[in-house]
Amino acid sequence: MCGISGIFNPRGPLGPDAKSACERMNGAMLHRGPDQGGFHEDDGLVLGHRRLSIIDLSSGQQPMISGCGNYAVVFNGEIYNFAELRRELEGLGHVFRTRSDTEILLEGYKAWGRELLGRLRGMFAFAVHDRRAKVLFGARDPIGKKPLYYRLAGDTLYFASDLNALRASGVDCGPISAEAMSLYFSLGYVPAPYCILSGARKLASGEAFSHSPKGFETWTYWDIALGNEDASMDEAAAVERLEGLLDMAVSRRLVSEVPLGAFLSGGIDSNLVVSTMARASKEPVKTYCAGFGERTALHGVRDERELAAAAAAHYHSVHEEIRIAPDGDVQPASLMPYLGEPLADPSIIPTYLVCREARKRVTVVLTGDGGDEPFGGYSFRYLPHLREQKIRSMVPGPLLGPLAASMGGLAGMLPGLGRLRVPMRNLAVGPGEAFYLDQCLWAGEAGLLGGSLAKHRDAARDLVLSLYARAAGRDDLTRMLYVDTRLYMCEDVLVKADRMSMANSIELRSPLLDQDLVSFAFTLPGSLKIKGGECKRPLREVARRRIAPGLADQPKTGFSFPLESYLRAGWKAEFESAVFAPDSVLREHLDLGKLRDVWRRFQAGENGKVGFLWAAFVFALWAENPAAPVRS
């Protein structure tokens, strides 16, 4: 796991300060690669690299140059099938000088060009320079686990793994983008290809780029295939296929020359990963579970350490509990430099803390991320929408709107019917629009947005509906899962995992997000994923065969912490200082009068808008770093 950077102009030499600019970019990413650093210069090119050594510790240094001298590469991530690709390339006559997966990119690009991307299985962001052709070619992995930011300034391309590193080069990344800011306050994150700074962009998951004398281009080389549903697949066959894919995904991720372990909770996803690791490993697996203080529910947050300890005993793992305490141990402001962009996912706090503690013990950790979005694990989101779809199929279209409106009005007048408000609201609009209203975590707070954000209020809606429309022809659940996988998982869950793990120089691997496993998940109809009211049914059936008894039927819980408690106590003063400061960047773009009223009601005990309050807090803290004015 590493940090990469570079500057490239295919039309002429770079300025005299290019090397120092790349050095500054590297210096801003020391946490991503504390073990080694290196540079490579050529005509019109500087490449930089920071290394966290995982495989081939002695000879995997970067930037790496091909034996013929024509190709150079910088690479962040892991190619899990590098051994198979190496054997294939050796059969074609290629000679390797190292044991690293990095060299696969050099020899693979030499052999297959852009077609290399279809052969890779892993998590990655890389750039390969072809000296003779004056081309810089690169890509992000299909699921989007590793980031890549870039800025095209005239003919010169700047790129880096981190937005702060890109800015450290000195290139003007522009002011804050009002459109990206609007997306953030609707979704809680800034989705690729948007960037919070208007002059920079993010390469999207499954996207590649090329920069040459012909110009700069990007293209999508991989997306979830939505037209290959296997209607003949029954549950038994799906479970058998999943078991094989899970075995392969886990075994691919056990290759490491440094200490390796796994996060273990009481949920089925991490238990599936650990149980499969235990089957494949000769030595006991090292497992870790985090919790707050003593083993007890704290302010409504469920503690899973007791379940995890029982599961660990079942797998005979070497298990350790990690006690974390955010208040006084870490302040939100201290995490902003690692985020690069604002991210309003409160679980950045416990994720950072558990990664920090795990790094004292291991360098690589396998996680259970990815079991919910492709397989339908969020019952609180999907089950209500499926019920609404059933009503849509039973009530004639012309009657549905008036019926929903009248029932919604009645629910507003009679407190006992308040739980009907959301389904009636959803039934009054189309299915895609209804899913958007739930997808956008703070869509109901649109009244708080103002200034230059007002004209971008529909940005999130348009994005969600465009993805929902892309999955047209599939069942309603599959369309929702596609949107959540492409948006929430790729742009929130994986961003959080990358930034908080790299802040602690630890590598996270997610077997359930193996490209082949995710592709298979989307060949299954929604009726196989949620069956009899049970979510992610195929994974649960695999779990019933493999994991500790009783855990397959445990309710889902997320990795969260008592946000309300900390905002009302330890972080209250910091919130008010950052958000309501006279020079707060939010003053021009939110209605701070309304927001102050929301804050007062929250302090009095209302929790309904805590998500928006947290988003405002994170943005205000992030914006305290030097930034230009918001561009409308």
Q: Which residues are catalytic?
A: 2
Residue indicated by tokens 């007791």: 306
Distance from C-alpha of 255 to C-alpha of 476, rounded to nearest angstrom: 38
Tell me if 161 sits within 8 A of 148, measured CB to CB: yes
Beta bridge partners of 508: 365
Pick from 273, 304, 268: nearest CA to 366: 273
DSSP state of 371: S
How far is residue 158's CA from residue 136's CA, in Å, rounded to a whole number?
Answer: 11
CB count within 10 Å of CB 476 equals 21
Taking a C-beta distance cutoff of 8 angstroms, is the pair 212, 508 a contact?
no
| Tokens 């009726």 belong to residue | 527
For 190, other C-beta atoms within 10 Å of its C-beta total 26
E strands, 204-298, in order? 207-212, 215-220, 260-263, 286-292
Strand order from edge to edge, sheet including 215-220: 64-65, 71-79, 122-130, 135-140, 207-212, 215-220
Q: Is the peptide bond before 213 cis (omega within 30 degrees of 0)?
A: no
> Are 146 and 76 contacting, i.e. CB atoms less than 8 angstroms apart?
yes
d(CA 471, CA 251): 32
Q: How far apart are CA 192 and CA 140, in angstroms?
A: 12
Q: Which two structure tokens, joined as six digits, stand for 440?
A: 């956008």
CA nearest to 192, candidates 516, 463, 437, 512: 463
Q: What is the DSSP letter of 416?
A: G
Q: What share of the chain is helix, strand, coil (3-state, %, to 5)?
A: 45, 15, 35
58 burial via Cβ count (<10 Å: 0-12, 13-18, 19+) = exposed
What span, in angstroms and rounded, lies between the C-alpha atoms of 541 and 558? Answer: 21
DSSP element (H, E) containing 609: none
Longest Cα separation, the chain: 77
Q: At 45, phi and psi to the nearest 5? A: -145, 140
- Encode 101-127: b = buried (16+ Cβ within 10 Å), e = exposed: bbbbbbbbbbbbeeebbebbbbbbbbb
